Structures are given as C-alpha cells and as structure tokens.
Chain A
Amino acid sequence: MRAMPEPFQSWFASRGWSAHPHQLEMAARAGAPSLLLIAPTGGGKTLAGFLPSLVELADGRHAGLHTLYVSPLKALAADIRRNLGTPIAEMGLPIRVEDRTGDTSASARKRQRADPPHILLTTPESLALLLSYEDAPRIFAGLERVIVDEIHALAESKRGDQLMLGLARLQTLRPGLRRVGLSATVEDPPAIARLLARHPDPCPILLADPGPEPDIAMLETVERPPWAGGGGKYAIPAVLERIRRHKTTLIFHNTRAQAEIFFHQLWLANSDTLPIGIHHGSLAREQRERVEAAMARGELRAIVCTGSLDLGIDWGDVDLVIQVGAPKNVKRLIQRIGRANHRYNAPSKALLVPANRFEVVECVAALEAAREHDLDGDPRGPGPRDVLCQQILLTACAGPFDAGALHAEITSAGAYRDLTRDQFDACLDFTATGGYALRAYDRWQRLKRRPDGLWELRDPRAAQRIRMNIGTIQDTETLKVRLRGRGRPLGEVEEAFAATLTPGDTFLIGGEIVRYEALRELSVEVTRRADKPPKIAVFAGTKFATSTQLSHRILAMFRQPGWPELPAHTAEWLALQRARSKLPEADRILVESFPFEGREHTCIYGFAGRNAMQTLGLLLTKRMEEEGLAPMGFVATDYAVLIWGLDRLPDPAPLFDPDALRKGFETWLAGNAVMKRTFRASATIAGLIERNYGGQRKSGRQATFSSDILYDTLAKYDPDHLLMQITREEALRGLVDFGRIEEMLARTAGRIDHVVTDRVTPLAAPLFLEHGRVPVHGAATERLLAEETARLMSEAGLDQAL
C-alpha cells in the first residue's frame, strides 16, 4: 500500500482515519490523462477525486485555476466547498476554493473570471457559459485537472453531452488536461469511461470495494396491495411503524404528485406527530433548504422525496430507505438504496413497497436483479445534434473558429466520435443560415465566414442572447403558488395544471391543501381553506418507464410453473390468469378480447414500458378507427394497453404489421402533441427558439407565438429540415419511445396469440382502475367546445345563431 505525503498523512492520522485503498490508488495514478472511479455511495469518492489536487497545490506555487469540479447539482457544489474547507483549513493549505453556479452573484462571477480560484466548483451550464467568453483561454490558462462528479447521472442526459463537448473545448485550450470521473455503480463502466476520455484515449477504471451487500426486502403489510394505482396508501401504517423503529428514513416516490399525496396521508395517520418532511423539485427553494437543514441537524425522522434526493449530498444519518412504487429501473434502485447508511462498510437497508398487485411481481423481479448485480441501461446512441448546434453557437461567442478544427474537437468527445463532416456541416449551416430549403437569410446570417475562412458571429451583440439560452434542461412553464396576502411562495405548478383550476378548487402542495383563489400576475394565489378533497397537481417530473431488462425479468418469471417467491395473493392471481387465458411470453404478443359493460375490450401485453405502450395505444386505435372498429379510448401501463370500443376485434395480426406501424409513426404521429413538445425542446436547445423569461411573459404575450406554429410551418414547407430530423430522432427515444416498440416487434416477430373470452381476464382487470384514460375522438375537442359554448350561450339566455 502506498502512503500519502505530508501533511496529509498526519492529518488523516490526527482524525483517526485511514485512507481507503481506492483513494490511495487515485492519488498514485494522478498523472493519468483520464481515470474513472466507480465507488458505491459513501465510499469517499469525492475526497478520492480531490486528493491529488490538494497534494499538487500544497506547495503554493501554482498560480490561477488548477482544478475544475463539475457536478450535476448546484447544491453539491456548495456542499463540496464546505467539505473541502475543513482539511484545507486544518492543514493550513494555501488553496482557494470557490463555487460558481446560477446562484453565484454577478459581482462574484466577474471577480472569478478576472482572478480564478485554485479549485472552482461548478455545473455543466456554468462551465458552458465560462467557455463562451472571449477570455476563456486566460481563465483556464493553468488548468490541470477536471473532476466530473456523479458522472453516471450526467451520462444519461443532454447535460452530460454538453459537458463532454465542454471538456473537448477545455482540452483544446489545455492539451495536457487530466480528466477524472466519479461514478456510482453502473451496469457498463466502459461506456462511462468512453464518455469521459478524449476519444480515442484509453481510460482506466478503478473499482472501489463495493462494500457489504445491501439488506433489501419487500415491506410486508397486513393489508394487501390494491389492484391498481400508484400511491401505496395501503402501506401507511406499516411505513409509520418502520419510521418509528429507525433514526431517519428516506421515502422515495417515482413522481412528485405521488410524494405529495403520500405525505399528506402520512400526516393524517401520524398520531405521535413524528417530525416528517417533504422534498421535491417543485417546492420553493427556501422550503427545500429548510428541509435539508433540518435533515442535516438530525431533526427529521422521515423525508418523503423524489429523485431530488437521488444524488450525493450527505444529509444526516439515514438508516432506512423505503421505495414506494416499483423502482422501474434496477440501477436507480441501487443508487437510492445507497442513500441509507452513508457510511462505508455498513450495509444499506431498504424496503420496497409495491403500489399495486402487478408491482409486487415487478418488485420481486427488481430485488432479484439487485441481488444478482444485474443492472439495466439502454445504450444512448450517438450524441444529439441539437446540443451540437448549441455548442457551435457558444463556440462562436468565444471568438472566430475554423470549421475543420471544431469538427475534429467535437469528434474527440466519445458520444460524437462518429459524427461525419457532412453531419457537422449541416449543423453549422443551421446555426449560420437557418438551414432552410428557402435561402432567405443571406444578408442576415447568424454566423458568417470571413475571407480568411474562419467563422464568426455576424453581429457580436448576438453573443449576449445566445448565452441567455445556454443549457439543455427544459423548463416547463410553471407558475408560482403563493399564499394570499403573503409574498412567500409555497412552490410551483405547471401552467397547464393551473389552467384547469377554477376558484374554490383545492390542491396539494408541500403537503398542505390549499384553495385556489385567483391568478395574480404570474402567481397562483391560494388560501389555506381546505374545504374540498384536493385535486392532484400535475408536475413536470418524468414518469419513468420500466426498463427493458426488468420487463424481460418479469416475462421470465411468468414462465415458471409456480411462484413461491411471491406473496400468496399475487401467485394465486397469476395462476388464475394462466387458467383463464395465458401468461404473456417474451417472444409472443398476447392479445385478449372480451366484452365488459356493453363494450368490446382488447388488451395487448407488449411489455415495452409506459411511454411506448402509450404510443402503441395511439397507433393501434388509429388503425382500428380506419378499419371501422370504432375504438372509443384506451389506457396504457408499463406492460399493457387496454382498448375499448363498439366492435370486437376479429383478428389482431394485421394491426401489428411493422411497416404499417412505422408508417403510422411517421405520418399520423407527426401531428401529435408529443412530437410538438419534442420539437420545442430540441428547437430551444439548438437555438431556434429563445427561452421565455419572466419579464417578457409579464409584458403581454401577443408578441410571442407558440412553437407549435413553427413545427406546423416546417412540416408543411420544409419537412426535411435539420430540426425535423432531430425531432424524429428524439421521438425514437424519450416520450414517444418508438424504439421500444421496435424492440417488441423484433422479439415477437409476428407471433401473436389471440385469446377471446367472455369476461375480463385476471391480468387485464387492474387496467380498468388505471388513471390516464385517453379518449379517441379526432373530434373530441370540437365536441367539447360545442357543448361548452352552447351551455354558456344558453346560460346567457341566447341561442347559438344570433
């Protein structure tokens, strides 16, 4: 074992600590051009990342910026600054550490540019902004190391793609730059390593001791899980009991809405008034900070939360993690479990609470996968081109550039290694001229090629606007929720949800029921009069789809002759399904048809995850309508879609013709709202649409128009435009998730079993209780409008024809 230099050795000794082997190993290999450390939560990852920097900076001879630390969370940057402060102060090291995020004051940011600290802690967006300044070469002049924390979380998003393009830029400025990645346990470490390293450099991977096996189980309850739904309300007494028996419990939910409902019900049942808090991304910052501080002081016994607490900050002494609802994804489950016992060498303790009967099967499958360390993840495919367009614009903000050199730099980022010069040129053309078939902007190009061949902004003042648009995170339009007569915001709701409220309606926010009174400026004004059962606010958070791998595990379980590992009620349910119909199989599509309450029903078990099943529902009902089968609506879950209508489906096979489905995806879905939302996201990232800012919205909106108009216009006049291509690409993953439909078609290859019965089958029954029914009426909007306008007219004592 290698030893650490002084004064580090003594400092560790004075605290009674010994460094972990992987921390020493990281220090020993500090010279590597890139290095990836995979360590479980609580494994001292961050210190392992910083030790080499502290050692190199200890002699006080380095001037300017030495180490750049990038994390996905602003809060993490601030937390690390505090944590690094202790060893630096105690060892008396001459090292200046500062953070720089969206929360940093303008004056501090300005000073940091002029006089950068030795260690700068920041986020991908703040780094992108720094790189867009003309003085970027000077700011980063002495940079030696960059540390990317929680790289596994960034690897799955466009924020990570943007960051890696930023690293490519940094490497151009500082060819000797060394890269370090810190990651939680992931399914495919080499994939993360490829993302981190400069392509085609190798990137060694250090695997820390994963620590003891986690102690995970399903929560046993007296009450049986319900047939459908996602709230886990039945488990409240059992959950409260567990909270009482532990110091601090984190209760994870998959959506913010479910967290709100669960928290509300937990309070109603909380007879000994245990201190319990709630934390999610739609709550006001002050409110979240209060909960975080209370948690750090050990004052809370439980925190109901969402993905907002997924990542790395050490807040207090969590000794139990409860996951309510099926985890949908094994990797995320493991990472959440790691939040308990945030100390190395102590097993993490976690309980799963299936929210309904089907989720019992899913939870058992997830538990097995977790025990077998069988993590899931779908390969992400090539780097998205909307992010590339933004990168080209940001590069132009920093100064003139050579197209060939920029293309070479971009392809040094792993995700973009296969980007051809033609693809790059198409993005450059888009940023420069708009890239339209109609060449309308010759005089007003955004970027121009100078006589010496370099590209630059036509109007340097545009840099300011381009910088305002930095980033890849999509903000949905939200409205602040405020108590009447007080300025303090409680949190925010989506504009679309606010639009469904009428004065007097109540809804849940931050665990309280509030009553909607009015819309004032851009705030939803509420009072604390809870005189009606609350509506459920719709929040922006993503609804996760069950991963491909977990779906396959469930299908594999279905093949077993019996299910001793399942609770009796669930095993009996599956046996009944097998007796009455069939259990779905991985290489066949099961279709069931049966009448119920005067309507014909068809249930299709595709196991493609909720987004893809939703898309399948849209496509199949469209085809059924064309064939005169009069579908009236459908509802989708992760594993099935249930369609109801007037006529029985005679033969399902033609519905699954791959070419027809693909054609449906191409043509009919093109007009779908989901495609328009996908377009808006990509168009904003690529710089075609500027983000809306509060001030602009306030000044009246007749000047701004909907991005849907741009989408419709392009679809009509320029359907092959780059952004339409990008939108289709994005739709294959993401919300439309047609990729998973392709996966389903490939594994079933036209093998379809059609079971016709005279009553609802056991496996289909829960679908009747699912929320999110989608009516199928091309004319639904018109009909609703006709109804409502007629009602309003007759209320006014007038009939329609004036």
Chain B
Amino acid sequence: MNECAIPLLGARLLPLPSGALHWPERGLLAVSDLHLGKSGRIARRGGTLLPPYETRDTLARLAADLDRTGARNVVCLGDSFDDCAAAGALAEEDRLWIARLQAGRRWVWIEGNHDPGPIGLGGSHRAALTEGPLTFRHIAEPGAIGEISGHYHPKAEIRARGRSVTRPCFLYDAARLVMPAYGTYTGGLRWTDPALRSLFDATAFAALTGDPVRQVPAPKPADAA
C-alpha cells in the first residue's frame, strides 16, 4: 500500500483506506461513528425498513482492518451505536462477533451523542481517552491540542477536469484530527461546512479514504463554495 502518514504531536498516524486510523507505535486502531443498528433504530421510530445488513457489513470491515494491522488496542470514537437501545437490540450473532473481536484486545468505547450511556458489551466505557500525547473524544473541543475526534463525518469534494469526486476524509492540522465515519450507513458533511472547517487553521489537510489514501490541502475557509 502507498502509505501516507499524518504527524500529530510526534505521533505517526496512518489513515487507512477504510476510514480507520492506525497508530502502529502503540498498536492502536481507532474507528469513529460506526452507527451500528441504524436500520433498526429508524424502523423503531416508524421510519422505513432499510436493508438490515449494515451492522454485519461494518463489523466485517472492522474485522478485516484488525486482521491487517494486528492492532491490540481498539478505540471506538463514539456514536458506535445509533442509540443506546440499538446496542441492546443487537442480534445475538453480531454480539458474539463483537466479543470475538474483543478477545485478547484492549477495547475502549468512547461516548458519543448517539450513545451517551454505558452499553452491555465488553470493553471499557469512557467519555474520553488520553494516550501519550493524544486525546480521543467524540466531539472536538475548542482549543484542544493533540485531539482525535469524530462526530462530523467529514467528506471531501474534489473537482478534477469536470468530474466531481466525493469521498469521506480525515481532516487535520498540526493540533487535531477529525475522523471520517466508518459505519456503512453514514453520510458526510462537506469539508467546507463552517461547523467543521472552523475547527482548523488555514493549513489544514485532508486524507481521502479509498485505496490508496490521498492527501490534499483542505480548501481555505474563504474558498468555501
């Protein structure tokens, strides 16, 4: 793989094509916004009955990334479940699958706005996790340094010779990084959206998901179009 690395406060982080973030030095894999059980939550609330396969699809991709990186530490950066009831309503088969993935690994569930309470699954449950120079939390905090967060589902939009390509992306500058959503049933927020872009200084970059991962300067706030 054509590896590209993101330096953040001395840590060397590898964005993966799938949208996971690998920190080889610590054997750590971070994924954000899995939104497991989203189809079930929509159905419960009287919405449409979407194909109920997103949980197994998301877990299959996570299993492949764990396999490939051999990571022993896993951080799920919040909104891992579409709501707390979705965690409870997980099919037995998927619950067992998560347990198998957790076996032999240190597993941290970070709270998200969708899943603020503890969930009845293995692993520890935290509001935030500090690991070396870095802090993992769900929603970026103003002024934070060395922070890795999710929540916004950033997506990049590149126009190349008349063709417009949209990809979920990692956004980062020297102080922080916002991860793309990993869940199968997730959409994105444009990287030019002020809520997202204002978290970064003018020198922000994006790493686009897809194989190979590509880096590109994020548009300056003034270019937002």
Name A residues whose Cβ lies closer than 8 Å to a Cβ of B.
Answer: 433-434, 436, 438, 440-441, 443-446, 458-459, 461-462, 465, 496, 499-500, 502-503, 518-519, 687-690, 700-706, 709-710, 713-714, 716-718, 721, 781-782, 784-789, 792-793, 795-796, 798, 800-802
B151's nearest neighbour on chain A, judged by CB, is A702
* Pair B158/A788 contact, Cβ less than 8 Å: yes
A503 in complex: contacting residue of B4, B46, B56, B225, CB < 8 Å: B225
Bound: A503/B224 CA distance, A: 11
In the bound complex, residues from chain B placing their C-beta under 8 Å from that of A787 are 160-161
In the assembled complex, how far is the CB of residue A520 from the closest CB belonging to chain B, in whole angstroms? 10
* Pair B225/A789 contact, Cβ less than 8 Å: no
Query: Is B50 an interface position by the 8 A CB rule?
Result: yes
* Pair B215/A518 contact, Cβ less than 8 Å: no
In the assembled complex, how far is the CB of residue B9 from the closest CB belonging to chain A, in whole angstroms? 15
A793 in complex: contacting residue of B159, B186, B195, B216, CB < 8 Å: B216
Identify 5 new A-B residue pairs, CB closer than 8 A, beyond the known A502-B159, A801-B4: A717-B51, A717-B56, A718-B53, A784-B165, A789-B216
In the bound complex, residues from chain B placing their C-beta under 8 Å from that of A703 are 187
Q: Name the 8 nearest CB pairs between A and B, nearest first.
A: A434-B49, A440-B52, A705-B187, A788-B160, A444-B43, A702-B153, A717-B53, A784-B160
* Pair A465/B47 contact, Cβ less than 8 Å: yes
A686's nearest neighbour on chain B, judged by CB, is B48
Bound: A434/B181 CA distance, A: 26
* Pair A701/B225 contact, Cβ less than 8 Å: no
What 0/1 readout, one digit per residue, does chain B (144-172) give for beta carbons within 8 Å of chain A? 00000000110001111111110000000
Bound: A441/B53 CA distance, A: 12
* Pair A702/B214 contact, Cβ less than 8 Å: no
Bound: A436/B54 CA distance, A: 13
B185 in complex: contacting residue of A496, A709, A793, CB < 8 Å: A709
In the bound complex, residues from chain A placing their C-beta under 8 Å from that of B43 are 434, 440-441, 444, 446
In the assembled complex, how far is the CB of residue B94 from the closest CB belonging to chain A, in whole angstroms? 11
* Pair B51/A781 contact, Cβ less than 8 Å: no
A702 in complex: contacting residue of B39, B187, B216, CB < 8 Å: B187
B49's nearest neighbour on chain A, judged by CB, is A434
What 0/1 readout, one digit per residue, does chain B (45-77) give for beta carbons within 8 Å of chain A? 011111111101100000000000000000000
* Pair B4/A800 contact, Cβ less than 8 Å: yes
A703's nearest neighbour on chain B, judged by CB, is B187
Bound: A438/B57 CA distance, A: 13
* Pair B48/A499 contact, Cβ less than 8 Å: no
In the bound complex, residues from chain A placing their C-beta under 8 Å from that of B47 are 465, 690
* Pair B215/A789 contact, Cβ less than 8 Å: yes
Bound: A441/B189 CA distance, A: 30
In the assembled complex, how far is the CB of residue A180 from the closest CB belonging to chain B, in whole angstroms? 37
Name B residues whose Cβ lies closer than 8 Å to a Cβ of A.
Answer: 4-7, 39-40, 43-44, 46-54, 56-57, 91, 152-153, 157-165, 181, 184-190, 193, 195, 208, 210, 214-217, 225
Bound: A710/B186 CA distance, A: 11
A690's nearest neighbour on chain B, judged by CB, is B48
* Pair A700/B193 contact, Cβ less than 8 Å: yes
* Pair B163/A441 contact, Cβ less than 8 Å: no
Chain A contact residues: helix, strand, loop or mixed: loop
In the assembled complex, how far is the CB of residue B27 from the closest CB belonging to chain A, in whole angstroms? 22
In the bound complex, residues from chain A placing their C-beta under 8 Å from that of B225 are 502-503, 518-519
In the bound complex, residues from chain A placing their C-beta under 8 Å from that of B165 are 781, 784-785
Bound: A547/B147 CA distance, A: 61
Bound: A438/B186 CA distance, A: 21
B186's nearest neighbour on chain A, judged by CB, is A705
In the bound complex, residues from chain A placing their C-beta under 8 Å from that of B161 are 784, 787-788
* Pair A702/B188 contact, Cβ less than 8 Å: yes
Bound: A558/B52 CA distance, A: 55
In the bound complex, residues from chain A placing their C-beta under 8 Å from that of B208 are 785, 789
In the bound complex, residues from chain A placing their C-beta under 8 Å from that of B53 are 436, 438, 713-714, 716-718
* Pair B48/A688 contact, Cβ less than 8 Å: yes
In the bound complex, residues from chain B placing their C-beta under 8 Å from that of A519 are 225
Bound: A151/B87 CA distance, A: 52
* Pair B57/A716 contact, Cβ less than 8 Å: yes
Given the known A-B contacts A444-B44, A789-B158, are A688 and B50 also in contact in the complex, defined by CB atoms under 8 Å?
yes
Bound: A436/B189 CA distance, A: 30
Q: Can you name 20 A-B pairs with beta carbons within 8 Å?
A: A433-B49, A434-B51, A440-B40, A445-B49, A446-B48, A461-B46, A499-B157, A502-B159, A688-B49, A690-B47, A701-B189, A703-B187, A714-B53, A781-B163, A784-B160, A784-B165, A789-B216, A793-B215, A793-B216, A802-B6
Given the known A-B contacts A500-B162, A688-B48, A802-B6, are A793 and B217 also in contact in the complex, defined by CB atoms under 8 Å?
yes
* Pair B51/A714 contact, Cβ less than 8 Å: yes
* Pair A434/B153 contact, Cβ less than 8 Å: no
In the assembled complex, how far is the CB of residue B46 from the closest CB belonging to chain A, in whole angstroms? 4
* Pair A438/B52 contact, Cβ less than 8 Å: yes
A464's nearest neighbour on chain B, judged by CB, is B46
B3's nearest neighbour on chain A, judged by CB, is A801
* Pair A802/B181 contact, Cβ less than 8 Å: no
Bound: A709/B57 CA distance, A: 11
In the bound complex, residues from chain B placing their C-beta under 8 Å from that of A465 are 46-47
In the bound complex, residues from chain A placing their C-beta under 8 Å from that of B49 are 433-434, 436, 441, 444-446, 688
Bound: A789/B153 CA distance, A: 21
In the bound complex, residues from chain A placing their C-beta under 8 Å from that of B39 are 440
In the bound complex, residues from chain A placing their C-beta under 8 Å from that of B6 are 802
In the bound complex, residues from chain B placing their C-beta under 8 Å from that of A714 are 51, 53
* Pair B51/A710 contact, Cβ less than 8 Å: yes
Bound: A785/B209 CA distance, A: 12
Bound: A518/B185 CA distance, A: 31
* Pair A713/B184 contact, Cβ less than 8 Å: yes
A792 in complex: contacting residue of B50, B193, B217, CB < 8 Å: B217
Bound: A718/B193 CA distance, A: 36
Bound: A500/B162 CA distance, A: 6
In the bound complex, residues from chain B placing their C-beta under 8 Å from that of A795 are 217
A783's nearest neighbour on chain B, judged by CB, is B160
A688's nearest neighbour on chain B, judged by CB, is B48
In the assembled complex, how far is the CB of residue A394 from the closest CB belonging to chain B, in whole angstroms? 15
In the bound complex, residues from chain A placing their C-beta under 8 Å from that of B44 are 443-444
* Pair B188/A701 contact, Cβ less than 8 Å: yes
In the bound complex, residues from chain A placing their C-beta under 8 Å from that of B46 are 458-459, 461-462, 465
* Pair B51/A687 contact, Cβ less than 8 Å: no
B52's nearest neighbour on chain A, judged by CB, is A440
